């Protein structure tokens, strides 16, 4: 924050804070921590009763708790972990296996960081997967250079931007001309074609297709769908690219760790506080008004909530350009994933899955065709009678989620369109029945163990987590909504057309997932003193 920023208030002594952060998710807390560590007086305002955002769990049946939308960590940035001084039990753990389930009980199991070793496939297939993995890991590392820093401004490329481009180019050059050509060839391909080039095992193809499209409104044969897998592979945990883990004590330990770091830095955290308006004067943000009528003033406002909620709900659109408001309205942000939580009287057993592997990620995606056919109805506002899904058993890593002897199961189910034809009030029961029948096919007897269930559709996520459209990434992770266009070009670098207002949510660069990077990079930009 520069002296000119501070001077924006008519009377500096009247400013309650140097910075107000709206939203107590991990990005908001990360931004607040860095600002406070640099001497700023910061307050975080969170509407819910506790911080954590999408990591925030809830009791869906007496004694049984959901672990929230985020139930696995696979991209917590090392710089964020260092900034927040998170302990090792929070930032690392044994990489979880991924089990590509097969109806016949003969599953493929990926171990290590995204299949460093594979069980249940032929030696030839394991070798082919290793070659594809090596190729994709390298190409994702090229893109990762651009995700770890503020996106360059079109027409205003600085030395740091040039060094990033040069570094990416050097990485390609050192790999040879053929590797460079391959990178350009594959960059915008669909994931199905890439999987077909390397693999012959339908289980592995289905898994790769699922991972590339989870949380994105694309099928595996849609152009650019490989970008979703690239994005996943830009993440790292404990120095292992592509690895996934659950913190010691479960996911419910992670949100408090972010809050603890913020308060240790001197941040004031207020929960149960609703921001109803961002105040502005002649194009400059000046503070916020709360639901109680209280007004807080600050020369810097950091919005770590959905961009559409920021501009269309909290801002007076008269302070913004008409074209900008229209562009914000057109951000594609309709979720297509449902989340089912089950309260069980005992831990389930999936046929053919080793006992220890139940702690990992179980994926139902039999083939590329299965994922594609599950996606096709969503294009017309319908759900599939044969869905694909990712299953975890959170209570195995966090016993506090269920009573002694009991268990919880969580399933992320594709594809569940936000705008369901006929509405979710009518379709919810039918969709849940399909999901349960699918699970029963892989875990016989599961239905007899169910005490209670809770299905959250994208519409439910919108209500519970205050997410417009129920999209956990705060906007589609597609080519036209990434980098210099995230969430849109006029607000791609965290600064916005409203001077003093900055974005720092998953809707900003580089995107969603528990990384903390949008918050970290936004705070760095604010501290740089560059208002653009």
Has residue 464 been placed in a domain? no
232 and 341 belong to one structural domain: yes
Q: Is 84 contained in some domain?
A: no
The secondary structure of residue 352, as a DSSP letter, is: T
Instruction: Please give the average per-residue pLDDT across 237-265, as a whole number.
Output: 87
Would you say residue 168 has pLDDT above 70? Answer: no
Question: What was the pLDDT predicted at 9?
Answer: 36
Return the structure tokens found at 163.
């060094």
Q: What percent of the chain has pLDDT over 70?
A: 92
Would you place residue 157 in the very low, low, confident or very high pLDDT band (cuts 50, 70, 90)?
low
298 vs 294: CA distance, rounded Å:
14
Could you tell me how far CA 414 lies from the centroid of its own chain?
15
> Mean pLDDT, to the nearest integer, of 88-116?
90
pLDDT, position 4: 39
> What strand order describes the sheet that includes 275-281?
275-281, 284-290, 295-297
Going by pLDDT thresholds of 50, 70 and 90, the confidence category of residue 245 is: confident
Does residue 297 have a pLDDT over 80? Answer: yes
Q: Are residues 273 and 239 in the same domain?
A: no
In a domain, 356, yes or no: yes
At 155 the pLDDT is 57
391 pLDDT above the threshold of 90: yes
**First-residue to last-residue Cα distance in the chain:** 13
Tokens standing for residue 242: 């592509």
Please check whether residue 65 lies inside any domain of the structure: no
Tokens for 34, please give them. Answer: 């860095």
The two tokens of residue 22 are 């709206």
Distances 496 to 301, 315, 464, 530 between C-alpha atoms, Å: 11, 12, 27, 12
Residues 156 and 291 placed together within one structural domain of the fold: no
Q: What is the mean pLDDT of residues 296-312?
A: 97
Rounded CA separation 182/142 (Å):
13
Q: Are residues 328 and 341 in the same domain?
A: no
For residue 531, the model assigns a pLDDT of 64
Instruction: Compute the distance between CA of residue 39 and CA of residue 263 in angstroms, rounded to an integer.
Output: 13
Distance CA 387, CA 214 (A): 12
Closest CA to 434 of 387, 501, 473: 387
The domain of 313 spans 3-58+253-332+474-528
Cis peptide before 368 (omega within 30 of 0): no
pLDDT at 159 over 80: no
User: Residue 103 falls within a domain, yes or no?
Assistant: yes
**pLDDT for res 160:** 58
Taking the C-alpha atoms of residue 371 and residue 361, their distance in angstroms, rounded to an integer, is 17
**pLDDT at position 397:** 87
pLDDT at residue 12 in the model: 36
Q: What's residue 115's pLDDT? A: 94
In this predicted structure, the answer to whether residue 156 has a pLDDT above a threshold of 80 is no
3-class DSSP state of 235: coil
Across residues 186-194, what is the average pLDDT? 93
pLDDT at residue 230 tops 90? yes
- Report the domain count for the chain: 2
Structure tokens at 114: 């995204």
| 212 lies in the same domain as 271 | no
* Alpha carbon distance 152, 403 (integer Å): 50
356-380 pLDDT, tens per residue? Answer: 999 999 999 999 999 999 999 999 9
Q: Is the pLDDT of residue 267 over 70?
A: yes
Instruction: Flag whether 81 is in a domain.
Output: no
Mean pLDDT of 229-239: 87
Please compute the mean of the pLDDT values over residues 312-339 and round it to a whole number.
95
Same domain, 115 and 50: no
Percent above pLDDT 90 for the chain: 77
Kindly report the CATH number assigned to the domain that includes residue 479: 3.50.50.60
Q: Are residues 349 and 306 in the same domain?
A: no
Q: What are the pLDDT digits (tens) for 397-440?
A: 889 999 999 999 999 999 999 999 999 999 999 999 999 999 99
Q: pLDDT averaged over the chain?
A: 91
Specify if 390 maps to a domain.
yes
Task: Enter the tokens of residue 457.
Answer: 């559709």
- Reading the block at residue 232, the tokens are 């996943």
* Mean pLDDT on 14-27: 91
Structure confidence by residue, pLDDT tens digits, 477-525: 999 999 899 999 999 999 999 999 999 999 999 999 999 999 999 999 9
Q: Do 379 and 286 have their domain in common?
A: no
Nearest CA-CA partner of 359 in 106, 4, 163, 99: 99
Neighbours of 164 (CB within 10 A): 18
* DSSP states of 268-337: EEEES--EEEEEEETTEEEEEEETTS-EEE-SEEEE-S-HHIIIIIIS-GGGS-HHHHHHHHT------E
Same domain, 371 and 233: yes
pLDDT at residue number 30? 97
């Amino acid at each position: 924050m520069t002296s000119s920023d501070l001077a924006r208030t008519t009377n500096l002594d009247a400013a309650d804070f140097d910075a107000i952060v709206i939203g107590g998710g991990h990005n908001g807390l990360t931004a607040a921590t860095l600002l406070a560590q640099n001497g700023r007086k910061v307050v975080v305002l969170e509407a819910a009763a506790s911080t954590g955002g999408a990591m925030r769990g809830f009791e869906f049946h007496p004694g049984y708790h959901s672990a929230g939308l985020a139930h696995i960590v696979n991209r917590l940035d090392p710089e964020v972990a260092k900034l927040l001084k998170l302990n090792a039990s929070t930032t690392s753990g044994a990489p979880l296996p991924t089990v590509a389930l097969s109806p016949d009980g003969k599953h493929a199991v990926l171990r290590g960081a995204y299949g460093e070793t594979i069980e249940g496939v032929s030696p030839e297939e394991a070798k082919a997967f290793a070659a594809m993995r090596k190729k994709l890991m390298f190409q994702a590392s090229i893109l990762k250079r651009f995700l770890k820093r503020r996106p360059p401004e079109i027409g205003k490329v600085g030395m740091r931007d040039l060094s990033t481009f040069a570094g990416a180019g050097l990485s390609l050059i050192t790999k040879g001309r053929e590797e460079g050509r391959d990178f350009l060839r594959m960059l915008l391909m669909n994931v199905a074609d890439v999987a077909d080039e390397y693999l012959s095992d339908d289980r592995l193809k289905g898994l790769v297709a699922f991972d590339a499209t989870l949380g994105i409104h694309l099928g595996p044969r849609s152009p650019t769908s490989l970008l979703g897998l690239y994005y996943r592979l830009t993440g790292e945990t404990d120095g292992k690219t592509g690895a996934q883990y659950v913190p010691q004590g479960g996911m419910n330990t992670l949100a408090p760790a972010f809050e603890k770091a913020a308060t240790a830095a001197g941040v004031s955290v207020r929960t149960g506080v609703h921001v109803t308006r961002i105040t502005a004067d002649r194009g400059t943000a000046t503070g916020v008004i709360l639901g109680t009528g209280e007004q807080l003033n600050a020369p810097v406002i950091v919005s770590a909530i959905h961009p559409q909620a920021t501009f269309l709900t909290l801002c007076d659109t008269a302070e913004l350009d008409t074209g900008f408001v229209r562009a914000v309205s057109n951000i594609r942000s309709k979720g297509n994933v449902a989340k089912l939580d089950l309260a069980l009287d005992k831990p389930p057993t999936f046929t053919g899955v080793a006992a220890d592997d139940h702690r990992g990620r179980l994926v139902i995606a039999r083939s590329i065709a299965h994922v594609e056919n599950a996606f096709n109805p969503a294009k017309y506002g319908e759900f599939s009678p044969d869905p694909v899904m990712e299953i975890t058993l959170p209570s195995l890593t966090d016993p506090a989620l269920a009573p002694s002897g009991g268990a919880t199961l969580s399933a992320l189910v594709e594809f569940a369109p936000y705008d369901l034809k006929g509405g979710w009030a009518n379709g919810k029961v039918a969709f849940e029945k399909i999901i349960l029948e699918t699970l029963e096919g892989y875990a016989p007897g599961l239905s007899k163990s169910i005490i209670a269930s809770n299905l959250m559709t994208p519409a439910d996520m919108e209500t519970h987590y205050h997410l417009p459209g129920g999209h956990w990434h705060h906007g589609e992770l597609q080519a036209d909504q990434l980098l210099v266009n995230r969430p849109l070009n006029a607000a791609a670098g965290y600064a916005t057309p409203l001077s003093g207002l900055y974005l720092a949510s998953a809707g900003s660069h580089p995107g969603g997932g528990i990384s903390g990077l949008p918050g970290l990079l936004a705070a760095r930009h604010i501290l740089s003193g560059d208002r653009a």
